[in-house]
Amino acid sequence: MSDLPPPELRVPPRQEVAGLMMRWVQPLVVDGEVRVCPECGAYRDWIVFCMRDDSICLRCRAGHETKESGLDAAWYNRNSGPVDRFHPTLEEGLRHLGH
């Protein structure tokens, strides 16, 4: 028997996760403007990523990713709930969030 807690209770160091992510279902307004995907025109149901370098990326339902320079990690932390789960891969995270 090992004294280590089960893997799901261990929080990996931040450098081991691709970044933080959350689902953002409502339209996302930055500086008074609704953000729209430049490729497909989607304006709601984003996945918002907080990358390792504290930049923010938006991903629409169709999987297009756009860097969002109007937002930063401080915004993310204010708007995301407490981190309930870390995802070792992007795919697992997206599945968890319903994308």
Residues that bind Zn ion in the complex, under the rule CB under 5 A:
37, 39-40, 42, 60, 62, 64
Q: Tell me how far, at minimum, the Cβ of 63 lies from Zn ion, in Å.
A: 7
Q: Tell me how far, at minimum, the Cβ of 69 lies from Zn ion, in Å.
A: 18
Q: Which DSSP symbol is given to 96?
A: H
Q: Tell me how far, at minimum, the Cβ of 36 lies from Zn ion, in Å.
A: 9
Side-chain half-sphere CA neighbours of 2 within 13 A: 4
> CA-CA distance, 96 to 82, in Å (whole number)?
16
Please say which residue, 40 or 83, places its beta carbon nearer to Zn ion. 40
